[in-house]
A and B are shown apart, each in its own frame.
With several copies, the nearest count.
Chain A
Amino acid sequence: MATRSDRSRTAIGGFDWLTVALVLGGVLCLYYLAPLVSLFLSVPSTALLDALGDPAVVSAASTSLVSASVSTALATVFGLPLAYWLARSEARWKNAVLAIVVLPLVLPPTVSGLVLLTVIGPNAPIGAFAVATGMPLTRSLAGIVLAQTFVASPFVVVTGKAAFEGVDRTLEHASRSLGKGRWTTARRVTLPLAAPGILAGVTLVFARAMGEFGATVMVAYYPQTMPIEVWDAFLEGGLDGAYPVAIVLVVVSIAALVVLNTVASNPWE
């Protein structure tokens, strides 16, 4: 009988959780969305077109695209095998390796830039050697790539790991027992099935690399990438100067979101 009265109490004290969730969540979503809408409303399209012709903007865009592409390629080549190992290994120190991979994700970007300078800065042995060979690792495209790779590459490892874990191991065992080697199994079974997740990881690395600011600003203020150009334009010309470049970056971010929600498998879905 106690349970029966308990039931009624719950019913009477009923509180509409769905409404609360939607109101609080709605406020949050509005907070994410309103500034973007406001940005698009703030910028006259003529100003945008003018800015896109500005040599500084063009240079920043090409620097960003090249550096982010190289960083993404490096992250994928070095990170994907590690992702597969993390997904399949039963080694005890696997979690220690994972912690190292996650480290750059929780490190503040300025600190990432700073710690990189302790290795690649002109006063550090490696950095000094690079300067001597005429290919300095700071204030150069190489420096941008190094900063972006440090900050962004963990995304392809953790997202790739989840993608590989999503491929049932039984399928790999089936393929092997059917007489196919590791390489054929990887090429025809594992990689096709993990592809949407891997693509998500690659997309995140690219988006993060395109947007990298805190580490890049420490390691290679020049040549200017687009996020630095936004900052620079803001310092020089206030909001109005920074808007057009920002809008280009917003478009890149939205493109990444579209990729995540269509061909790639959104890791947060």
Chain B
Amino acid sequence: MLAISEVKKAYGAFDLGPIDLTVGTEVLSVLGPSGCGKTTLLSAIAGVVDPDAGTVTLNGTDLAGRSPEERGTVLVFQDGALFPHMTARENVAYAAASIDRVEELAATLEVGDVLDQRAATLSGGERQRVALARSLAADPDALLLDEPLANLDAPIKRRLRDELRPLLSSLSIPVLYVTHDQHEATAIGDRLAVMADGAIQQCNTPGEVFAHPATPFVASFTGSTNLFRARVAGTDENPTLEWADHELDAPDHESEVGETIEFCIRPEYVVVENGARERPNVLDGRVRRVVFEGDDYLVDVAPESTDDTIQVTLSPPVYDRLELADGERVRLSLPSDAIHVIGAGE
């Protein structure tokens, strides 16, 4: 188990932490925008940067004062950080206890046929595979991956990501996986920590983080684009929100009647209704813009009587059936169990 407690690091104007995280024998994704401190956190754990405060313990051992090579934590870098004066084989052998282990890892990561090439001649995907083989060769007690797929083309990224998940799980060690890509973070992590401005905003299962973001930042960064301000109109038995002149049924939440809160609903959960009957959580609006994203349609709808815009994600087969045009009137339903109240909106 990797336990990070109260770790802080100041870099000029930027402050990381205090960070508290506990990683069991699982893959914990750390998701955050560039410059949020993800890499600094990994560096502090690996010992290549000295934290200003806080402790890192791995399997019960306090790592304070230990050199990077004495920690059992192995880093995997964005570009692989392969030693350019060595072949792929020499890179893996650099960390491996035996030649057999090199061959075994090369087989696992499917790089057997590029082992005798120099690092510079490898493709991006091969480079990362060799880098992973090399890091596994060091027999890590904890693996720290820093955006390992960030520079790969989409299809290779997708493939390697799908291979990585079972591989990382099979290691049965704490794995920290840092990325700025929400798809990667959710696909690879058993749990997901969202970071912003040097602080962990939320840490939970990916499903929970996506469904119930703890802060407006998490909501927005995980693509919960519908984030609105409303007034609490009812609680307990009858939790409702007053948003413009709509009254929305909402799941139970902790705010008081009369309080102004923010609520969000993921654009995948908004439903375009066919029925004409008036129901709770149903509202009328006009299509303001349709964006085709290739595998999705994003439809922005301006509801009557508010200035907010609701975004709806429609899968292409659904959109093909509806054929929404700009300016067209639509009726939207916001399912009450998809509504999530974030808390007091400042």
Contacts and interface: CB of A to CB of B under 8 A. Distances in A.
Please say whether the chains A and B touch (CB closer than 8 A): yes
Interface of A: 1-4, 7-8, 10-11, 14, 168, 170-171, 173-182, 188-189, 192-193
A4 B84 CA distance: 25
B48 A173 contact: yes
Contact of B68 (A2, A170, A177, A189): A177
Contacts of B77: 170, 173-174
B85 A193 contact: yes
B344 interface: no
Contacts of B69: 7, 10-11, 176-181
B81 A176 contact: no
B95 interface: yes
Interface string B50-75: 00000000000000000111111111
A188 B90 CA distance: 11
B84 A177 contact: no
Interface in B89-140: 94-95, 97-98, 134-135, 137-139
Given A3-B139, A7-B69, A178 B84 contact: no
Give the 3 A-B CB pairs with smallest separation, nearest first. Answer: A176-B68, A2-B97, A174-B81
Contacts of B137: 178
Interface in B211-244: none
Given A3-B138, A171-B83, A189-B83, A177 B73 contact: yes
A61 to B, nearest CB: 37
A171 to B, nearest CB: 6
A189 B95 CA distance: 13
A3 B73 CA distance: 12
Contacts of B149: none
20 contacts: A2-B97, A2-B98, A3-B138, A3-B139, A4-B139, A11-B67, A14-B67, A171-B83, A173-B46, A173-B81, A175-B83, A176-B48, A176-B67, A177-B144, A178-B74, A179-B95, A180-B69, A180-B95, A193-B83, A193-B84
Nearest to B48: A173
A181 B81 contact: no
Contacts of A188: 83, 94
Contact of B134 (A1, A2, A178): A178
Contacts of B43: 173
A3 B68 contact: no
Among A11, A174, A180, the one with the most B-chain Cβ atoms within 10 Å of its Cβ is: A174
Given A3-B95, A10-B69, A179-B69, 18 more contacts: A2-B97, A4-B72, A7-B70, A8-B70, A11-B70, A168-B81, A173-B43, A174-B83, A176-B48, A177-B75, A177-B138, A177-B144, A178-B138, A180-B95, A181-B67, A182-B67, A188-B94, A192-B85
A179 B77 CA distance: 16
B325 to A, nearest CB: 38
A41 B48 CA distance: 45
A182 B83 CA distance: 16
A170 B98 CA distance: 25
A192 B83 CA distance: 10
A187 to B, nearest CB: 12
Contacts of B85: 192-193
A3 B101 CA distance: 12
Nearest to B146: A170
Contacts of B79: 170
Contacts of A3: 95, 97, 138-139
A14 to B, nearest CB: 8
Nearest to A5: B97
Nearest to B68: A176
A173 B79 CA distance: 13
A8 to B, nearest CB: 7
Contacts of A181: 67, 69
B94 to A, nearest CB: 7
A78 B101 CA distance: 41
Among A1, A4, A176, A177, the one with the most B-chain Cβ atoms within 10 Å of its Cβ is: A177
Interface in B311-327: none
Given A3-B139, A11-B70, A170-B77, A178 B97 contact: no
Contacts of B98: 2
B84 to A, nearest CB: 7
B70 A174 contact: no
B94 A178 contact: yes
Among B68, B98, B137, the one with the most A-chain Cβ atoms within 10 Å of its Cβ is: B68
Contacts of A192: 85
Contacts of A179: 69, 72, 74, 95, 138
A193 B72 CA distance: 25
B177 to A, nearest CB: 16
A173 B138 CA distance: 14
A168 B139 CA distance: 24
A8 B66 CA distance: 11
A183 to B, nearest CB: 10
Contacts of B47: 176-177
A61 B72 CA distance: 56
A1 B79 CA distance: 28
Contacts of B70: 7-8, 10-11
Given A181-B69, A189-B83, A193-B84, A174 B75 contact: yes
